[in-house]
A = this chain, B = another copy of it.
């Protein structure tokens, strides 16, 4: 069986998304871990730095390599997962792409089609603008076919996934109006990464709920790009992210206006139709709860209609590290590699 397994590399494995990615790939029946790199931990056994991975699958004896392109290429991987900060990811994507390797980037570097929008939201010239036209936005439920053949996928972000999956089918079907959409999301603290910052200490996050990143969170750029595509016109939304005292999970609450004639039932039915065949979207009458998606690649969606104010309330929940990051990346990879889309993700 080993002979058939696809060799993959993970670049930047010691953040939360990277660790989750390793954890998923360790039990993926179709891959072989060719290399795992970490600038900070090069030379150390993976299981010592990330004890959760000790003794699991290919990681049992693996040592972190230097994140250097030639040696990464030398390890024989065909697919590369980049779990790096934005900006840095492009530095690896460019040469790997040139070398003919297929790349799944978990950062924001290849999610936007327009380098100008990147500059506006990320505050710098895009490090590889020439590649944007080749890159595909990695949300399988929206771009499955393009992902299959893509050489470079910018795997969709955590907040965007939770906002786009409920809204896109409704905007496409004209069931909600594209104007006046307001979104309130809450994320577990792992969404901020494994950074030694005082604001992320247990003592600062426990029993704490707070908004941040207002009024123009970076994820707005990809959210509005995809909402505009779906609506066929420019869509701008008000978006307020919050930090909640939990490790994993994103919960999103969306306030929107129904198109004339639309109501809770027709919207629920439209969502059920849109996701009937999807392996990782669960539409339900029951309100979603982050804990039911923890450790899974599911995004759970529901809807309520507030007749008193004429408001459609869409609600979604997902695990920010799985469907919002590492699971999504593997789902994209499965499509690219022609594997069962759910391999390693069940």
CA distance in complex: A249, B52 (Å): 13
Residues of B within 8 A of A290 (CB): 207-210
Q: Does A109 contact B (CB under 8 A)?
A: no
| Structural contact, B206 and A246, CB atoms closer than 8 A | yes
Q: Which residues of B are found within 8 Å of A315, using beta-carbon distances?
A: 211, 240
Nearest to A255 among chain B residues (CB) is B182
Does B237 lie within 8 Å of A309, measured CB to CB? yes
- When the two chains form their complex, are residues B204 and A291 in contact, meaning their CB atoms are under 8 A apart? yes
Q: Which of A31-39, A131-139, A281-289, A333-341 contacts B (4 or more CB under 8 A)?
A: A281-289
Q: Pick the contact of A209: B212, B246, B284 (CB < 8 A).
A: B246
Smallest Cβ distance from A19 to chain B, in angstroms?
10
User: What residues of B have a CB within 8 angstroms of the CB of A307 in the complex?
Assistant: 215
Q: Are A253 and B242 CB-contacts (below 8 A) given A194-B203, A346-B56?
A: yes
A9 to chain B, nearest CB (A): 21
A182: which of B182, B203, B205, B284 is its contact (CB, 8 Å)? B182
Chain B residues lying within 8 Å of A346, measured Cβ to Cβ, are: 26-27, 56-57
Q: Is the CB of B194 within 8 A of A196?
A: no
Q: How many residues of A contact B (CB 8 A)?
A: 79
Report the separation of the CA atoms of residues A284 and B308 in the bound assembly, to the nearest whole angstrom. Answer: 33
* Pair A202/B247 contact, Cβ less than 8 Å: yes
- Of the candidates A51, A295, A304, the one having the most CB atoms from chain B within 10 angstroms of its own CB is A51
Q: Is the Cβ of B186 less than 8 Å from the Cβ of A194?
A: no
**Bound form: Cα–Cα A280–B210 in Å:** 19
A99 to chain B: which residues have CB within 8 Å?
none
Q: Which residue of B lies closest to A181 (CB)?
A: B309
Report chain B residues within 8 Å CB of A204: 194, 202, 291
Distance from A240 Cβ to chain B, minimum over Cβ atoms (Å): 5
Residue A216, interface by CB 8 Å? yes
